[in-house]
Each structure stands twice: as C-alpha cells, then as structure tokens.
Amino acid sequence: MRNKRILATLAVLGALFSACSGGGGGSSSPPPPPAAKMMIWKAPQYFTDNSTLDSATDLQRFEIYVRQDSSFGPGDSAIATASPVDTTFNLATLVPPLSRGVTYYVSLQAVTVDDEKSDFSASASFSFPQ
C-alpha cells in the first residue's frame, strides 16, 4: 500500500482568457452560448515531502470549484472535474451554465489516487459578458 502524503498547494491557476464565439442571430433567436473561458493551471510536480509527483500515476483528478466570492473552503463542492493529465478546462461548458454579467471566482484541488486533496489553489476571477 502506498504511503499517504498530503499535497501542498499544487494546482496553480495560470490565466483565464476568452475566445470569440459566433455572432448572435435575430431577436427571436436564443442568445449564443458564452465565449470560451479557459482556466489554465500548472500540474503539480512534488508532494510536500519533496518527492516527485507524476500526475498520470499519482493523481486521480482535479476538482474545479466556482463561487461568487473567493472564500473557498472544506464545505464547498466541486462543480466539475478534470483528468489528472489535463491542464485546461473551458468554464463555458459548465452545466448548468453560469450567469452572464456576474463575477465568479474559480479554484481547484488536486486529488491523489489515495484520495488526499491538495489545498485550494489561489483563486482567479472571471465573468461572461452580457
């Protein structure tokens, strides 16, 4: 059995950016989906004891959290997950979709194969234009 090692704050948000989406239709058409809003992070490389961490074999997933403030804590539930080898996630694909014109904050945690979670990453803010 593997030794359980708690991760340090491993998942760090890099940047958020938006890409263009198609133009809207007439007034009777539903609004177009929001433009892509990509969350980018650097995969963890080490455990807290400085031993090397391989995302493909040592991690189960990344958990993605979204709130309307930056106070992430143990009572929060993940709104989505990403593969342990992913380093991006399109926030426009969340179901149910997030509201336009609202400022949200996003953070993530890395989860090991032994179900140990990292601390929450630093949060980043984003919104979808109205």
The 3-class secondary structure across 10-71, one letter per residue, is CCEEEEEEECCCCCCCCCCCCCCCCCCEEEEEECCCECCCCCECCHHHHEEEEEEEEECCCC
pLDDT per residue over 43-73, tens digit each?
Answer: 888 888 888 999 999 999 999 999 999 999 9
Structure tokens at 84: 């342990």
Are 6 and 116 in contact by the 8 Å Cβ rule? The answer is: yes
For all residues of the chain together, what is the average pLDDT? 80
Does domain 12-20+31-126 bear CATH number 2.60.40.10? yes
pLDDT surpassing 90 at residue 42: no
pLDDT surpassing 70 at residue 31: no
What residue ranges do the domains of the chain occupy? 12-20+31-126
Q: How far apart are CA 59 and CA 62, in angstroms?
A: 8
Q: How far apart are CA 71 and CA 51, in angstroms?
A: 30
**Beta pairing partners, 88:** 40
Amino acid sitting at position 13: L
pLDDT per residue over 70-117, tens digit each?
Answer: 999 999 999 999 999 999 999 999 988 899 999 999 999 999 999 999
Residue 47 neighbours by CB under 8 Å, 6+ apart: 5, 6, 7, 8, 53, 58
Are 39 and 89 in contact by the 8 Å Cβ rule? The answer is: yes
pLDDT value of position 19: 39
pLDDT value of position 60: 95
